């Protein structure tokens, strides 16, 4: 992370256009707390190792705390002349302490410094994001629990498939979001490694104590290879990949809800507080929050593709291209926080229309598989049963009848294995109730799923 600002190598200052082109302070200022946290740990280590005086380390740490408070109060000037957050903080330190402040950068480079800052930032933000995702899970569970007898048609190929419980449908997204949390926390484990001490590329000749810094900053491990530590951004790629998958899952949920709110479905409605109107049509109530959330998925994908493209052609070790690693990352995190700031309460305040759902699920054709499985109970191989029921569906269509209007005699004319009980299968409530295997949509199974998630969140809160 070279700069002419602190180098005796250059006879003239950088052109103003270059300063403006190369600055990152406009976005990396958000790393100030983490930069100060890392600098304090580094200064303490330098004193502990006898590289700088104890008094210098104390003065540095005290001044860094003052700088932090100034930034938080808004009493701090940021300028493109100082390029990035590291230079701003170090400059203020030197202004206040003179030569003593200049000791803080001993045995480190901005290369390992920025890697440290990003890792500190991400391990904190990942926890915050996961907490927000859990709130969304809870909102989905609350709606599922409040409407656990509601039945709607499940879809495959966006065609009516089989009756399912609304609660089962929402709990599917709870499962997806749990995997999103798992991916983010897995990424956090891999990025939670101390890079400081790697220097610009090869470490340092000074007798630093990396273990001291590791403990001070609560890292479970430290980087084993200085070149890898400063050159790699795969941890950023991994976080953005996890955020992209989360965004994909939110987009799918949004799509379901947008469809359900349409007049053709009329399964639910959002609160007025989470919809917008039309500039032209007074009657409109649009699911814009869900639509925007769906649209922002592309934005997060863009950040992932950007960092992958940046990294793909870089030789070891640090190259200035890596300055571009942060803007997309910050934008993706802000985008995800934005979605999670509105989505939980949007779910909590939505209104479900169970009668309309049941009406749509009441098509006897949705129970055709149940009929095939009854034939299996009579000893018919499933493939044959599937063919026989398909023939019955064709017969019903040709005779302009619904399946529940077919008589036993008509059914037996298509397959002789038909029984009286088979004519009574075409009720969505029965179809749901009979699906009583682990993970299925049956009433008892969904109750077990709800109980599992409630207990899971109790345990999560306790831990």
| Best CA proximity match to 223, nearest among 206, 204, 210, 205 | 210
Q: What is the DSSP letter of 14?
A: P
| 353 closest CA partner among 215, 171, 166, 179 | 166
Write the CA distances from 47 to 37, 41, 89, 215, 337, integer angstroms: 16, 10, 20, 15, 39
Token code pair at residue 411:
């059914």
- 49 by Cβ neighbours in 10 Å (0-12 / 13-18 / 19+) ranks as middle
Residue among 26, 278, 341, 413 flagged as catalytic? 278
Helix, strand, or coil (residue 411): helix
198 assigned to active site: no
Which of these is catalytic: 7, 17, 157, 279? Answer: 157
**Residue 225 phi/psi, 5° resolution?**
-135, 120
Please say if 24 is a catalytic residue: no
H or E element, residue 162: strand 159-165
Cβ neighbours of residue 376 closer than 8 Å, sequence gap 6 or more? 382, 385
| Burial environment of residue 203 by CB neighbours within 10 A (0 to 12, 13 to 18, 19 or more) | middle
343/273 Cα distance (integer angstroms): 12
Q: Which tokens go with 394?
A: 């064709």
3-state secondary structure labels for all residues of 280-303: CCCCCCECHHHHHHHHHHHHHHHH
Asked if 143 contacts 132 with a C-beta cutoff of 8 angstroms, the reply is no
Report the C-alpha gap between 159 and 259 in whole angstroms: 13
Short-list 318, 156, 173, CA closest to 233: 318
State the catalytic residues.
Answer: 157, 278
């Amino acid at each position: 992370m070279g700069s002419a600002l602190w180098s005796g190598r250059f006879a003239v200052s950088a052109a103003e256009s270059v300063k403006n082109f190369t600055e990152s302070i406009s976005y990396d200022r958000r790393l100030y707390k983490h930069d100060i946290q890392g600098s304090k740990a580094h200064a303490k280590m330098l004193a502990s190792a006898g590289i700088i005086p104890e008094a210098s380390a104390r003065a540095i740490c005290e001044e860094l705390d003052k700088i932090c408070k100034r930034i938080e109060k808004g009493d701090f000037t940021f300028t493109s002349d100082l390029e990035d957050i590291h230079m701003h903080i170090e400059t203020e330190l030197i202004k206040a302490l003179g030569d003593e402040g200049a000791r803080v950068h001993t045995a480190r480079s901005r290369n390992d410094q920025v890697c440290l800052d990003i890792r500190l930032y991400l391990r904190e933000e990942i926890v915050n994001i996961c907490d927000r995702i859990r709130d969304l899970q809870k909102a989905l569970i609350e709606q599922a629990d409040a409407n656990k007898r509601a039945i709607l048609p499940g879809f495959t190929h966006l065609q009516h498939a089989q009756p399912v419980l609304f609660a089962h449908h929402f709990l599917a997204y709870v499962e997806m979001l749990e995997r999103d949390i798992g991916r983010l926390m897995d990424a956090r484990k891999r990025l939670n490694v101390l890079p400081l001490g790697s220097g610009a590329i090869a470490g340092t000749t000074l007798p630093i104590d990396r273990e001291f810094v590791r403990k001070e900053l609560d890292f479970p491990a430290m980087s084993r290879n200085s070149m890898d530590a400063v050159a790699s951004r795969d941890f950023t790629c991994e976080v953005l990949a996890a955020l992209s998958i989360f965004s994909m899952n939110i987009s799918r949920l949004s799509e379901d809800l947008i469809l359900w709110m349409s007049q053709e479905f009329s399964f639910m409605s959002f609160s007025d507080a989470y919809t917008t109107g039309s500039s032209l049509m007074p009657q409109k109530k649009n699911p814009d929050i869900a639509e925007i959330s769906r649209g922002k998925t592309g934005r997060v994908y863009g950040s992932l593709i950007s960092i992958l493209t940046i990294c793909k052609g870089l030789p070891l070790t640090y190259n200035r291209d890596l300055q571009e690693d942060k803007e997309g990352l910050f934008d993706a995190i802000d985008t995800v926080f934005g979605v999670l700031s509105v989505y939980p309460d949007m779910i909590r305040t939505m209104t479900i229309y169970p009668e309309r759902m049941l009406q749509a699920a009441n098509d006897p054709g949705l129970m055709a598989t149940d009929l095939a499985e009854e034939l299996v109970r009579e000893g018919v191989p499933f493939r044959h049963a599937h063919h026989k029921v398909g023939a019955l569906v064709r017969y019903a269509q040709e005779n302009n009848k619904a399946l529940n209007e077919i008589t036993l005699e008509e059914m037996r004319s298509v397959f002789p294995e038909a029984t009286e009980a088979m004519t009574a299968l075409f009720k969505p409530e029965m179809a749901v109730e009979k699906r009583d295997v682990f993970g299925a949509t049956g009433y008892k199974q969904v109750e077990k799923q709800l109980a599992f998630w409630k207990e899971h969140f109790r345990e999560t809160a306790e831990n």
